[in-house]
Amino acid sequence: MDAVEQINTFQEFFEKEYKAKLLSSVQKGDKFLNISFSDLSKFSPELASELLERPEEVIKAAEMSMDSFDLPIKLSNFRIRFKDLPDSQRVLIKDIRSVHIGNLLLVEGIVRQKSDVRPQVTSAKFECPSCGNIISVLQLESLFKEPSRCGCGRKGKFKLVDKELVDAQRIVLEEVPESLEGGAQPKRMACFLKEDLVSPLSDRKTNPGNKIVVNGIAKEIPLTNPAGTKLTRFDLIIEANYVEPIEETFHEIKINKKEEKKIEKLSEDPKLFTKMVGSIAPSIFGYDKIKEALLLQLMAGVRKTRDDGVITRGDIHILLVGDPGSGKSQLLKRTNIVAPKGRYISGKGVSGAGLTATVVKDEFLRGWALEAGALVLASDGIACIDEMDKMSKEDTSAMHEALEQQTISISKANVQATLVARTTVLAAANPKLGRFDSYGILAEQIALPPALINRFDLIFPVKDLPNKKRDAKLATHILELHRNPKEITAPIETEMVRKYIAYAKQKVNPVLTDAALEEIKEYYVKMRSQGISEDGGIKAIPISARQLEALVRLAEASARTRLSKKVTKKDAQRSISLIHYCLQQVGMDVETGEFDIDRISTGVSATQRNKIVTIKEIIIELENKVGKIIPIEEVVNIAKEKKIEEADVDEAIEKLKRGGDLFEPRRGFISRI
- CATH number of the domain encompassing residue 296: 3.40.50.300
Residues in contact with 221: Cβ distance below 8 Å, sequence separation at least 6, in sequence order? 142, 234, 235, 236, 237
pLDDT along the chain (673 residues), means of 10: 82 82 80 85 86 86 78 68 87 87 88 79 83 79 77 80 83 80 80 83 75 88 77 86 78 79 84 85 82 88 85 87 82 82 80 79 64 80 85 80 84 78 87 73 71 82 82 85 78 84 86 90 83 52 77 90 88 89 70 57 62 81 81 82 80 80 82 80
Give residue 471's pLDDT.
85
471 domain residue, yes or no: yes
Same domain, 282 and 174: no
Same domain, 365 and 487: yes
Distance CA 44, CA 617 (A): 93
* Domain with 10 in it: 3-84
Distance CA 257, CA 265 (A): 12
SS3 readout for 52-108: HHCHHHHHHHHHHHHHHCCCCCCCCCCEEEEECCCHHHECCHHHCCHHHCCCEEEEE
Same domain, 63 and 111: no
**Domain boundary, last residue among 448, 477, 507:** 507
Q: What is the CATH number of the domain that holds 613?
A: 1.10.10.10
Same domain, 232 and 344: no
Same domain, 76 and 185: no
Q: What is the CATH number of the domain that holds 75?
A: 3.30.1640.10
Same domain, 502 and 635: no
Same domain, 169 and 138: yes
CA-closest candidate to residue 558, choices 337, 381, 299 = 299
Q: What is the CATH number of the domain that holds 168?
A: 2.40.50.140
Same domain, 214 and 285: no
Same domain, 110 and 221: yes
205 domain residue, yes or no: yes
Same domain, 71 and 103: no
Contact 438, 585 (CB under 8 A): no
Residue 244: in which H helix or E strand, if any?
Answer: strand 230-245
What is the total count of domains within the chain?
4
161 domain residue, yes or no: yes
Query: Residue 297: what are its φ and ψ, rounded to 5°?
Result: -65, -40
512 domain residue, yes or no: no
556 domain residue, yes or no: no
Same domain, 210 and 265: no
570 domain residue, yes or no: no
Same domain, 477 and 410: yes
433 domain residue, yes or no: yes
598 domain residue, yes or no: no
Residue 219: in which H helix or E strand, if any?
Answer: strand 211-224
**Domain boundary, last residue among 507, 533, 560:** 507
**Domain boundary, last residue among 59, 84, 109:** 84
- pTM attached to this predicted model: 0.74
